[in-house]
């Protein structure tokens, strides 16, 4: 997929969608700093993005910041993502994990409670796209901590 997106960006370097997709793939492949760079480029190319697209930009940036352990910055982006797409569960999961790792367990508990209104499954029961095992464990350990605080 990355080779296809890179080829598309070589053909059209002004494609906001291409840069966003590259950012998503970089996030999943364990390159969070590059993910942030690529999604920020997409934002610059599409500054008037509709609410949904802007929320997805914030989600990917927030998730990437989370994986680099920049939890405060991540939380701010993830809150924006949730406001823009309140029915999309993934930013809630990252935000709960983020708060848990920050030691903000009351806030993590509140996010999990809100997440449960969207899905009965706060911890994903499907394979995660995160290829880096350290990133995957950071995410899951934060979620486990947040969920254990709500039971």
From first to last of its 151 residues, the chain has per-residue pLDDT tens of: 999 999 999 999 999 999 999 999 999 999 999 999 999 999 999 988 887 889 999 999 999 999 999 999 999 999 999 999 999 999 999 999 999 999 999 999 999 999 999 999 999 988 999 999 999 999 999 999 999 865 5
Q: Angle, to 10 degrees, between the axis of helix 51-67 and the axis of helix 32-45?
A: 160
Provide the token pair at 62: 């927030």
Tokens of 137: 């464990």
Architecture label for domain 2-148: Alpha Horseshoe (1.25)
In angstroms, how far is CA 143 from the centroid of its own chain? Answer: 13
133/106 Cα distance (integer angstroms):
27
**What pLDDT is attached to residue 150?**
54
pLDDT single digits (tens) 31-60:
999 999 999 999 999 988 887 889 999 999
Q: Are 138 and 101 in contact (CB under 8 A)?
A: yes
pLDDT of residue 52: 80
Token reading at 11: 């053909």
Q: What is the pLDDT of residue 79?
A: 98
Q: Is residue 3 packed enough to be buried (19+ CB in 10 Å), middle (13-18) or exposed (0-12)?
A: exposed
Helix, strand, coil fractions of the chain, as percent rounded to 5: 75, 0, 25
Residue ranges per domain, the chain? 2-148
Q: Between the CA of residue 111 and those of 62, 92, 143, what are the distances in Å?
A: 15, 6, 11
Residues 84 and 50 sit within 8 Å (Cβ to Cβ): no
The predicted pLDDT at position 48 comes to: 84
């Amino acid at each position: 997929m990355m080779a296809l997106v890179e080829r598309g960006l070589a053909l059209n370097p002004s494609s906001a969608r291409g840069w966003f997709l590259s950012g998503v793939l970089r996030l999943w492949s364990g390159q969070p700093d590059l993910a942030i760079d690529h999604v920020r480029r997409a934002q610059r190319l599409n500054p008037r993005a509709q609410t949904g697209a802007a929320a997805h930009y914030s989600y990917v940036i927030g998730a990437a910041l989370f994986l680099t352990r920049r939890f405060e910055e991540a939380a701010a982006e993830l809150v924006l993502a949730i406001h823009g797409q309140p029915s999309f569960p993934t930013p809630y999961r990252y935000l709960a994990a983020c708060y848990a790792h920050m030691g903000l367990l009351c806030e993590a508990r509140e996010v999990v409670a809100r997440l449960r209104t969207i899905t009965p499954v706060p911890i994903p029961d499907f394979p995660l796209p995160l290829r880096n095992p350290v990133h995957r464990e950071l995410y899951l350990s934060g979620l486990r901590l947040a969920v254990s605080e709500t039971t």
